[in-house]
Structure 1
């Protein structure tokens, strides 16, 4: 839960010019200023994208609803979780015939998920309060992530993916100029979060990227090459995107497209890796 001081800081900073905003946040995180004239590191290039990249495709990819349609048009080899309902007013939601388990999401930002199980839908006033909280969050202003600025805000219901009571492993593919160069493998996200960074052949880098490495690292998944092909197809029309996938019911399944990983503020243990990630872009 963000502190009151952070909320005040974010509100004030959101009213400042974008470049100044980025300089302040970057310095607050790394205790140095980014080189935005000749960026070399991955984090610097994400900041550069925030300021300069206005490709309309970014908005489509960032929109959790529009991105589903986009991926469906790009490839038929990926399962896309079904949307059961979408809208702005939540009152009609209580008259819909919904399954026992589902997920309520907002389409315009991150960390806007509410899991509903056994038909335990909260009262309308509680859900409306949550909707207002989600809709008031503006990643474009607070973090400078332009892609979110023009997304028409909606609430939607997505089918619940049953993984036998466990959290699915995440496979996140860093696609640079149409080619997967790095694979981020996350396990135990809500219990014992571990993360490994690998090359497309499943060779692990000696790198702790915000979390401890996955131990023990499992063998290369038999479906990894299929995932790589899907990620490259999805991101082939852009210079960089991280395509998040997982394996569900014997199918490559779409999660989301991430355009500003960590908002460009992920700390690497060594500048070497920040520059390595950046060298692919």
Structure 2
């Protein structure tokens, strides 16, 4: 039976434990030994075994690596069999900036305000006036939004990022490109609309160098994130990938330019998600993601997983 993705209770529990682990001294001290034992188990377990087990748990059906058909199956096949060294550089939120600059130009880069490999450098004196966001370059843990430096507990922030610097995202996701990233802390200008709200993530899922569909996430930092899928003409696609429908969004005035940027950045890969933002008609690059949700996010409609899977051609890579 195809798994219903609306498992909010499980997600909230994982989020709660993660917050205790990262932000609480007592929680970190208690949970850290268990995490290290868990990580040791992951280190000695073959990737294929972990991926197959996780796939069945999240998706509700067995992963077919010999003849992958759905989009999620093909994403997991790529995780195991299409490992280009450059992907380690491009998954690095700091080093990817040079790739973007060389491919499409630095005008699409969000201004970088700070970078360091030492959490002790994370002090208000080393950072500009808000607004900005602090994040690690080597994982997908989100970030610390700073709108007022006087309201930040900087010792707590240092402790949080020290813990992040000691984590290897590869062992929790089996996404190999994270394994050898050199951890560091970066701060970027916070992109906002005029009312101070955070702009929508506009994610271009590119198959074989071309935009296959566009995903828009709404209220990323809110209680209920919603999501729409659009085709390249900005027609709503009747598919839900992991989240319910969001509000209707007007077609961006410079959608053609956004598609051109996404396809230029994606041209060397069978599958990659190119995240862009649009603020005051200015396009900004977010990140490159090679395995959306690690290939473990169910569609509400199984036929959509199959439909998009048919569109992604990995035959040349299987030879």
Q: One fold, TM greater than 0.5?
A: yes
Query: Are the structure 2 counterparts of residues 35 and 89 from structure 1 closer, same or farther at C-alpha, using a change threshold of 3 Å?
Result: same
**Which residue of the partner structure matches residue 14 of structure 1?**
42
The question of 1:120 aligning with 2:150 is answered yes
**Which residue of the partner structure matches residue 261 of structure 1?**
292
CA deviation after TM superposition for structure 1 residue 93, in Å: 3.6
Contact 2:119–2:162 at 8 Å: present in 1 too? no
**Which residue of the partner structure matches residue 94 of structure 2?**
65
Contact 2:191–2:199 at 8 Å: present in 1 too? no
Correspondence for 1:145 among 155, 175, 192: 175
For residues 162-215 of structure 1, the C-alpha deviation after alignment (integer angstroms, 9 at most, x for no partner) is 322212122110111111110112222233422111110111111122222133
The question of 1:86 aligning with 2:115 is answered yes
**Which residue of the partner structure matches residue 162 of structure 2?**
132
Contact 2:215–2:230 at 8 Å: present in 1 too? yes
Contact 2:59–2:297 at 8 Å: present in 1 too? no
The question of 1:204 aligning with 2:232 is answered no
Query: Are the structure 2 counterparts of residues 124 and 166 from structure 1 closer, same or farther at C-alpha, using a change threshold of 3 Å?
Result: closer
Correspondence for 2:185 among 155, 160, 185: 155
The structure carrying a bigger helix percent of its residues is 2
Partners of 1:76 and 1:102 in 2: how far apart?
A: 22
CA deviation after TM superposition for structure 1 residue 112, in Å: 3.5
The question of 1:99 aligning with 2:129 is answered yes
DSSP 3-state at the match of 2:157: helix
Query: Are the structure 2 counterparts of residues 69 and 33 from structure 1 closer, same or farther at C-alpha, using a change threshold of 3 Å?
Result: same
For residues 70-94 of structure 1, the C-alpha deviation after alignment (integer angstroms, 9 at most, x for no partner) is 1111012852111112111132343
Correspondence for 2:209 among 178, 184, 198: 178
Query: Are the structure 2 counterparts of residues 88 and 140 from structure 1 closer, same or farther at C-alpha, using a change threshold of 3 Å?
Result: same
Partners of 2:77 and 2:84 in 1: how far apart?
A: 13
Contact 2:47–2:174 at 8 Å: present in 1 too? yes
**Which residue of the partner structure matches residue 166 of structure 1?**
197
Query: Are the structure 2 counterparts of residues 98 and 81 from structure 1 closer, same or farther at C-alpha, using a change threshold of 3 Å?
Result: same
Partners of 2:278 and 2:78 in 1: how far apart?
A: 30
Correspondence for 1:213 among 245, 266, 281: 245
Which stretch shifts more, 223-232 or 153-162?
A: 153-162
CA deviation after TM superposition for structure 1 residue 250, in Å: 2.2
Aligned residues: 279
Contact 1:241–1:259 at 8 Å: present in 2 too? yes
Query: Are the structure 2 counterparts of residues 162 and 204 from structure 1 closer, same or farther at C-alpha, using a change threshold of 3 Å?
Result: closer
Contact 1:108–1:152 at 8 Å: present in 2 too? yes
CA deviation after TM superposition for structure 1 residue 225, in Å: 1.1
Contact 1:13–1:142 at 8 Å: present in 2 too? no
For residues 224-262 of structure 1, the C-alpha deviation after alignment (integer angstroms, 9 at most, x for no partner) is 111001100111111111101111232111111111101
